[in-house]
Amino acid sequence: MIDVTIVVNGDTRRASVPPETTLLKLLRENFSLTGAKLGCDVGDCGACTVIVDGMAVNSCLMLAGQANGRSVTTIEGLATRERLHPIQKAFEDTGALQCGFCGPGAIMATKALFDEHSDPNVKDIRDALSGSLCRCTGYTKMIEAVQEAARVLRSESRTKLTDART
């Protein structure tokens, strides 16, 4: 067994797991964070996407031990009790998801994109979502959702800037 300590959504979490345990398994089975989904388990579908130290990763391909000492954000870390994250709201409002299975991964891939680009173009968005396979949608609504979320986030950050100056 190996001991791992990870900051997950701002909380320090510890577990003792077999060395072959993936980050996805650790999150789902040890920490009861079931938002990241087990789809293909081989890095093809993106349903398991989380953010590790600022980068979107397929958590089925990362060992829990490789995440030791690092900071992980999962879909559970986005919303507050009062409010969905603007990315989640935009996906909901535009009808970007149908069965929803790919949603957590696509939304986390979008979050990682916004952490780098506040105003991504369509190519940036397509690239960011390229690892997220969706069997239900044609991706058009998903791209619209990302564009809408980007607009909302830019507007919120302009408002914050104005408030800070007054």
Q: Which residues bind ligand FES (CB under 6 A)?
A: 38-41, 43-48, 58, 60, 97-102, 134-137
Q: How far is the CB of 103 from ligand FES (least distance, A)?
A: 6
Q: Which is nearer to ligand FES, 39 or 120 (CB)?
A: 39
Q: How far is 45 from 6, CA to CA, in rounded Å?
A: 24
Sort 73 into a burial class: Cβ within 10 Å, 0-12 / 13-18 / 19+: buried
In the complex with ligand FES, which residue's Cβ is closer, 100 or 126?
Answer: 100
CB of 79 to ligand FES, least distance (A): 19
DSSP codes, 84-134: --HHHHHHHHTT--SS-TTHHHHHHHHHHHHHH-SS--HHHHHHHHTT---
* Cβ-based nearer residue to ligand FES, 27 or 113: 27
Look at residues 22, 21, 24, 5 and name the one whose alpha carbon lies nearest to residue 13.
5
The nearest distance, CB 119 to ligand FES, in angstroms, is: 25
Place of tokens 């079931």: 34
Q: Of 76, 164, 89, which is closest to residue 97 (Cα–Cα)?
A: 89
Q: Min. distance of Cβ 107 from ligand FES in angstroms?
A: 11
Output 8 or 47, the one with its CB closest to ligand FES. Answer: 47
Q: Smallest gap, in angstroms, from Cβ of residue 23 to ligand FES?
A: 10
> Which residue's CB is nearer to ligand FES, number 83 or number 135?
135
Amino acid at 61: L
